[in-house]
């Protein structure tokens, strides 16, 4: 999302609102961008900052070439301030630095931009200090707060900012983007089902253990279709040792979920929707013999439930054992 026209494709509604405000010269003093990871909060903030400073705009589009655009991109523009959590939350020292900044004029002009990432990690105290500043909108200042979790933002902050809801990405669009970036189609389908963050997708694509994870999921399903005792053993010997932390375990369940969903799609003749397997994978014919349509719906529910338990920090081995038993039944 480097340009407003790209942004319009990804986040049509929000982009439209913002372009309209830019054209009419009616930008708000404070925005709250909320949306899931990868929905383009930082990109939009960057784009708006460039639009505000660029001296060679074409319409609303910044040029990306001038010293303004280039320095905003590199983080060297002295009047564009990025504040992001240093560790768990935004620290008091960061807020104090910010407050000092509030008291000063800009370095190059009086136009200033503050971008606060993960604004939900602000302490009540820090948030209030920022608010106090936002309450004096006399300055040429634009504040942008970014959050994945708008529920954790203080109501008082929310009421003082213009809220912009970024929608989850359209998977087809995302998949297309991945294919354009040289990721094989079969992989692009699966990745777009797992994440909507371009960076994450590339990382997974290059990750050796992701290939291995995929293989383990297929092996597990094979176990289910064969002798049932093997599956239980497999969990202990292969699955648990391989997926070490909670994040990996959750991702493994995501993969298992997608695989079973594929089976269901295959069953009801919706081959186009298959993402985990290749559409013409011969194993599919073989696998579906072992599961009825009804049992597959149950299995999907069990997997979702298992995922929830992991999130609640239930012991992972326990979760997997239970899931295995449930699927075998």
Residues of the shown chain interacting with other proteins in the complex, contacts defined by CB under 8 A: 67, 70-71, 74-78, 81-82, 96-97, 99-100, 102-110, 124-125, 128, 139, 154-155
What angle (nearest 5°) sits at the alpha carbon of residue 217, between those of residues 211 and 223? 140
Nearer to other proteins, 36 or 101 (CB): 101
Dig out the tokens for 270 from the structure.
């919706």
Question: Shortest distance, CB of residue 285 to other proteins, whole angstroms?
Answer: 56
How far is it, in rounded angstroms, from Cα 203 to Cα 244? 18
Query: Which residue's entry shows tokens 């186009």?
Result: 272
Question: Shortest distance, CB of residue 101 to other proteins, whole angstroms?
Answer: 9
Question: Shortest distance, CB of residue 113 to other proteins, whole angstroms?
Answer: 13
Question: Shortest distance, CB of residue 71 to other proteins, whole angstroms?
Answer: 6
- Which residues, in sequence order, are CB contacts of 284 under 8 Å at separation 6+? 262, 263, 266, 274, 277
Nearer to other proteins, 110 or 237 (CB): 110
Dig out the tokens for 170 from the structure.
């359209």
Question: Shortest distance, CB of residue 258 to other proteins, whole angstroms?
Answer: 39
Dig out the tokens for 18 from the structure.
């913002």
Dig out the tokens for 43 from the structure.
């990109």
Cα distance from N-terminal residue to C-terminal residue, the chain: 48
Question: Shortest distance, CB of residue 128 to other proteins, whole angstroms?
Answer: 5
Buried-exposed string 270-304: b where 16+ CB fall within 10 A, e elsewhere: eeeebbbbeeebeebeebbeebeeeebeebbebbe
Which residues pair with residue 145 across a beta bridge?
Answer: 32, 116
Question: Shortest distance, CB of residue 2 to other proteins, whole angstroms?
Answer: 19
CB 253 within 8 A of CB 310: yes
């Amino acid at each position: 999302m480097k340009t407003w026209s790209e942004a319009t494709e990804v986040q049509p509604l929000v982009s439209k609102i913002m372009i309209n405000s830019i054209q009419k010269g009616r930008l708000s003093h404070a925005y709250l961008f909320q949306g899931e990871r990868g929905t383009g909060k930082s990109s939009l903030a960057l784009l708006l900052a460039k639009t505000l400073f660029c001296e060679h705009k074409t319409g609303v589009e910044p040029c990306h070439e001038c010293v303004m655009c280039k320095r905003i991109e590199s983080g060297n523009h002295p009047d564009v301030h990025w504040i992001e959590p240093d560790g768990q939350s935004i620290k008091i020292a960061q807020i104090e630095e910010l407050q000092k900044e509030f008291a000063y004029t800009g370095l190059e002009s009086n136009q200033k931009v503050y971008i606060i990432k993960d604004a939900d990690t602000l302490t009540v105290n820090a948030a209030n200090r920022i608010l106090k500043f936002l309450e004096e909108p006399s300055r040429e200042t634009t504040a942008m707060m970014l959050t994945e979790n708008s529920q954790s933002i203080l109501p008082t902050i929310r009421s003082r900012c213009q809220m912009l809801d970024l929608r989850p990405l359209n998977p087809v669009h995302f998949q297309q983007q991945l294919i354009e970036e040289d990721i094989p189609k079969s992989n692009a389908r699966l990745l777009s089902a797992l994440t909507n963050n371009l960076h994450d997708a590339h990382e997974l694509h290059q990750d050796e253990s992701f290939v291995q994870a995929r293989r383990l999921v297929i092996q597990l399903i094979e176990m289910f279709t064969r002798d049932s005792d093997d599956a239980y053993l497999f969990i202990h010997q292969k699955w648990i040792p391989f997926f070490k932390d909670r994040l990996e375990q959750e991702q493994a369940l995501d993969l298992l979920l997608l695989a079973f969903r594929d089976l269901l799609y295959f069953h009801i003749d919706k081959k186009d929707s298959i993402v985990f397997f290749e559409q013409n994978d011969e194993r599919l014919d073989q696998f579906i013999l072992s599961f009825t349509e009804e049992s597959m719906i149950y299995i999907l529910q069990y997997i979702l439930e298992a995922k929830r338990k992991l999130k609640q920090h239930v012991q992972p081995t326990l979760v997997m054992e239970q899931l295995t038993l449930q699927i075998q039944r």
